[in-house]
A and B are shown apart, each in its own frame.
Chain A
Amino acid sequence: MTVKELLEKKIYEEVSVGDGLSTEISKPYCCDLLSIAMGKAPAGSCWVTVMANVNTLAVASLTEVACVIVAEGMQLEESFVSKAVQQGITVLRSSQPVFDTAYAVQKLLEE
């Protein structure tokens, strides 16, 4: 499943549509601590987190994850959204907890 295909399922709210739409999502990745994610998030993964600030976007960009899903319906600041757009990162928002969201993505990947 590519990022574009995930977007087209319209399961999650679209926060920003980034550059790498044709990137194949390899797997979901869950972590809320930035330097752990920095060291471990696989390039091409779908990063599910409740940590939604501009530093999350810096980590997403540097690790080249395929997209970010903000779980628990966390409120997003304007600066977060504009930075995501500016950096070309696809961000979605889920009202579900981290595990449920990642599990749902995993199911989609197995389809």
Chain B
Amino acid sequence: MSEALLSLHYHVSPDDFQTAGEASSDVKNKLKKMGFPPEIVRKVAISMYEGEINMVIHAYGGEITVDIGMDEVRAVLKDKGPGIQDIGKAMEAGYSTASEKVRSMGFGAGMGLPNMKKYSDEMKIDTEIGVGTTVTLVVRLA
């Protein structure tokens, strides 16, 4: 990866649905202002939002860093949540362990991770039970 043009850092609060999505929204606005193509902005916004909301719903919030480079946008979403038992299962469309409470808010279709896969060019999940999960998302410009 070439040198980052801009590095951003966000704190994601646990269980706060009023502010959930603000990091993704801020990144989207910055990319737009920097003149990135709309399709790239959309890919970053969608994949990053799903990761951000998962940190709110399934973990206890966490930290996001985003490096915007000449040829790629790289987001690393790190939480200290419960970890993911079975990544293969979690990646399946429709698989969700979301609670009734968050389902009533419209979450829990089990499409977040599939969306992240679909809208990123590279996705990596590092997870350890009881320790946390780090998701790396890369969207390439070329």
Report A's interface with B, CB cutoff 8 A: 32-36, 38-39, 43, 51, 53-56, 58-59, 61-64, 79, 87
Contact = CB atoms under 8 A, between A and B. Distances in A.
Interface string B76-112: 0000000000000000000000000000011111111
Contacts of A39: 46, 111, 114-115, 118-119
A94 to B, nearest CB: 18
**Taking chain A's interface residues, is the majority helix, strand, or loop, or is none over half, making it mixed?**
helix
Interface residues of B, number: 26
Contacts of B107: 33-35, 55
- B25, B28, B109, B118: most-surrounded residue (chain A CB, <10 A): B109
Given A53-B105, A61-B25, A35 B50 contact: yes
Interface of B: 17-18, 20-21, 24-25, 28, 38, 42, 45-46, 49-50, 53, 105-112, 114-115, 118-119
Nearest to A56: B106
A35 B52 CA distance: 12
Contacts of B53: 55
A38 B106 contact: no
Given A34-B109, A38-B46, A63-B42, 12 more contacts: A32-B106, A35-B109, A35-B110, A38-B50, A39-B46, A39-B118, A51-B105, A51-B106, A53-B105, A54-B17, A55-B107, A58-B20
B50 A43 contact: no
A55 B105 contact: yes
A35 B57 CA distance: 13
9 contacts: A33-B108, A34-B106, A36-B111, A39-B114, A43-B42, A53-B17, A53-B106, A54-B18, A62-B49
